[in-house]
């Protein structure tokens, strides 16, 4: 559906996804290398908290490191305490009445400008993602492109929602429905899409007329600081948002529990999401509303490879879904459920491809995989590999990668039983569990045998099986004969079932509604 929208009387072209930069073109490669050098030249700079537009320093600092070379400091940031968190909420609450009255068209214009500024600085943002999040060039490019898409899409969506809505008019009455912003939104973001997810949640908060308190991940605060610069340049008033860097476990509760917090928009792990949901549900003395929680959480995503699959296509799709960004996507394939008829062949072809993957610093475009995000993640992933050695058959992986970065070679475990921890728990690293299925029905049962329900894919040429999976595969994002990662704004609204979250469907037509409340107005005509 094309969205008809106008800004300042001019109609906007229909939304389209931001095209990816082709790094096989020599000039693009050279420009990206320049951007990496420029960003490296800014390593070690100090960034302040922004509270109601004021820069604030704290005594304790938060150091962000390059996961490909942890001895390198990417940025020095402030470590907020609950006192700064509370000030940020107070300041957002004080500015809310003014911001909520800013016309939707003006807010959308600022958001379109945000997208345009990021487009102009795309390679620079790519370079920050390479250096601070360990994304390879194409993964960084996809993240930044998605961020631009969110700006372009939500700007149009806000104009649609601010427009008139078709209502039944009772005889002698004028009947209307209007959408109002909620209040102060606390945005708590993960590191794995340090620009796209942070930006998506923040801009949805702001464009709908709410004020925002942004708490980025402690692993990627520099990208958040750069994003804040863009918001200001795009015209968002300084008091419309605050940027609060610091440890989630120290400032998180203060932000979520604050009396004046109206809603929390969170993306991250299951356990933190559940804690936020629980704390937000308890009203504080004097609180006037039920806090809303929009939470997108973990996944244990499966790809089914049916006996009637195109095996080459399936192997390629599993490879990209399991090991792209080192398996650190909530949508990553961590379980391959393969029909017995193809099982050995599948494993052999996948093993050969996996063993050919290059792992090393994200800066080097020859590497298919960069580092995992930090030392803690490296330790957790290695613990799961040890668990996997007891629970399954190691097909490949486990060899050492030289260099000081947090590198893990891609791992495949075969014959993993459904009750195994490796089949049930989110690893968030390049570790794939492969399990045989007796038939298609069994494969669907195995795929659904999880508390999560985020993404899934099925490789089969049989239309009857596609119809069956459409009904029975219980995930928020289902794909056929393609990988289970790489959701595109506008085409694949994103969000999961069960313990994967509240199914908020980022990048889709329902998303912004969660940041607003609807008011019905009926006027008796004379």
Residues with catalytic annotation? Answer: 296, 330
- String of contacts with ligand NAP for each residue 322-341, x by CB under 6 A: --------x-----------
When the beta carbons of 347 and 457 are compared against ligand NAP, the nearer one is 457
**Quick count: other Cβ atoms within 10 Å of Cβ 171?**
5
Distance separating alpha carbons of residues 454 and 505, to the nearest angstrom: 11
Q: Which of 218, 240, 367, 477 binds ligand NAP (CB under 6 A)?
A: 218
DSSP string of 316-385, one letter each residue? HHHHHHHHGGGG-STT-EEEEEEEHHHHHHHHHHHHHHHHT--BS-TTSTT-SB---S-HHHHHHHHHHH
**Applying CB under 6 A, does 272 fall inside the site for ligand NAP?**
yes
Distance separating alpha carbons of residues 412 and 352, to the nearest angstrom: 11
**Applying CB under 6 A, does 499 fall inside the site for ligand NAP?**
no
When the beta carbons of 252 and 360 are compared against ligand NAP, the nearer one is 252
Q: What are phi and psi of 434, to 5 degrees?
A: -115, 130
12: left (phi over 0), alpha (psi -120 to 50) or beta: beta
Least distance between ligand NAP and beta carbon 388 (Å): 19
When the beta carbons of 380 and 462 are compared against ligand NAP, the nearer one is 380
- Residue 453's nearest CA partner among 382, 395, 501 is 501
Least distance between ligand NAP and beta carbon 413 (Å): 20
DSSP string of 432-461, one letter each residue? EEEEEESSHHHHHHHHH-SSEESEEEEE-S
Kindly provide the b/e burial profile for residues 61-77, where b requires at least 16 CB atoms within 10 angstroms of the residue's own CB: ebebbbbbbeeeebbbb
Q: Which of 188, 223, 243, 444 binds ligand NAP (CB under 6 A)?
A: 188
Least distance between ligand NAP and beta carbon 353 (Å): 24
When the beta carbons of 234 and 297 are compared against ligand NAP, the nearer one is 297
**Applying CB under 6 A, does 268 fall inside the site for ligand NAP?**
yes
When the beta carbons of 36 and 189 are compared against ligand NAP, the nearer one is 189
**Applying CB under 6 A, does 298 fall inside the site for ligand NAP?**
yes
Least distance between ligand NAP and beta carbon 233 (Å): 24
DSSP state of 291: P
- String of contacts with ligand NAP for each residue 48-87, x by CB under 6 A: ----------------------------------------
Residues 6 or more apart whose Cβ sits within 8 Å of residue 315: 346, 349, 350, 353
**Applying CB under 6 A, does 21 fall inside the site for ligand NAP?**
no
Least distance between ligand NAP and beta carbon 321 (Å): 14
Distance separating alpha carbons of residues 56 and 84, to the nearest angstrom: 9
**Which residues would be at the binding site for ligand NAP (CB under 6 A)?**
188-193, 197, 215, 217-218, 247-249, 252-253, 267-269, 272, 275-276, 296-299, 330, 426, 428, 454, 496, 500-501
């Amino acid at each position: 559906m094309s969205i008809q929208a106008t800004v300042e009387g001019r109609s906007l072209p229909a939304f389209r996804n931001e095209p990816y930069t082709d790094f096989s073109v020599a000039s693009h490669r050279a420009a990206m290398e320049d951007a990496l050098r420029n960003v490296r030249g800014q390593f070690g700079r100090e960034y302040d908290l922004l509270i109601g537009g004021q820069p604030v320093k704290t005594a304790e600092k938060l150091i962000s490191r390059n996961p490909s070379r942890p001895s390198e400091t990417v940025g020095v940031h402030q470590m907020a305490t609950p006192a700064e968190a509370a000030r940020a909420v107070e300041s957002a609450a004080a500015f809310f009445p003014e911001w909520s009255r800013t016309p939707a068209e003006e807010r959308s214009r600022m958001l379109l400008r945000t997208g345009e500024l990021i487009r102009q600085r795309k390679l620079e943002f790519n370079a920050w993602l390479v250096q601070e999040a360990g994304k390879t060039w194409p993964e960084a490019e996809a993240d930044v492109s998605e961020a631009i898409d969110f700006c372009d899409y939500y700007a149009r969506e806000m104009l649609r929602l601010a427009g008139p809505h078709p209502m039944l008019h009772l005889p002698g009455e004028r009947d209307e429905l209007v959408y109002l912003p909620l209040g102060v939104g606390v945005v708590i973001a993960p590191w794995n899409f340090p620009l796209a997810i942070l930006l998506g949640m923040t801009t949805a908060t702001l464009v709908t007329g709410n004020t925002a308190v942004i708490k980025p991940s402690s692993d990627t605060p520099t990208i958040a600081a750069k994003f804040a610069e863009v918001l200001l340049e795009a015209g968002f008033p300084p008091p419309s948002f605050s940027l609060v860097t610091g440890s989630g476990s120290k400032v998180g509760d203060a932000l979520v529990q604050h009396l004046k917090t109206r809603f929390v928009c969170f993306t991250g792990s299951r356990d933190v999401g559940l804690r936020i949901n629980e704390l937000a549900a308890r009203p504080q003395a004097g609180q006037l509303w039920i806090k809303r929680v929009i939470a997108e959480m973990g996944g244990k995503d499966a790809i089914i490879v049916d006996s009637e699959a195109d095996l080459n296509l399936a192997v390629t799709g599993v490879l990209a879904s399991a090991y792209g960004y080192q398996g650190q996507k909530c949508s990553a394939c961590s379980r391959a459920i393969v029909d017995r008829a193809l099982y050995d062949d599948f494993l052999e072809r996948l093993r050969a491809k996996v063993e050919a993957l290059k792992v090393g610093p994200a800066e080097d475009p020859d590497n298919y995989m960069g580092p995992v995000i930090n030392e803690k993640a490296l330790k957790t992933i290695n613990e799961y590999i040890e668990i996997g050695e007891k629970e399954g058959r190691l097909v490949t992986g486990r060899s050492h990668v030289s260099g000081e970065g947090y590198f893990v070679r891609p791992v495949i475990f075969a014959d993993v039983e459904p009750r195994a921890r490796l089949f049930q728990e989110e690893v968030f690293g390049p570790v794939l569990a492969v399990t045989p299925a007796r038939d298609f029905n069994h494969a669907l049962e195995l795929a659904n045998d999880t508390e999560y329900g985020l993404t899934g894919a099925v490789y089969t040429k049989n239309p009857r099986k596609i119809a069956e999976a459409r009904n029975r595969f219980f995930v928020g994002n289902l794909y056929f004969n393609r990988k289970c990662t790489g959701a595109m704004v506008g085409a694949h609204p994103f969000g999961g079932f069960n313990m994967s979250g509240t199914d908020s469907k980022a990048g889709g037509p329902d998303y912004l509604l969660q940041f607003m409340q609807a008011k019905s107005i009926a006027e008796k005509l004379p």
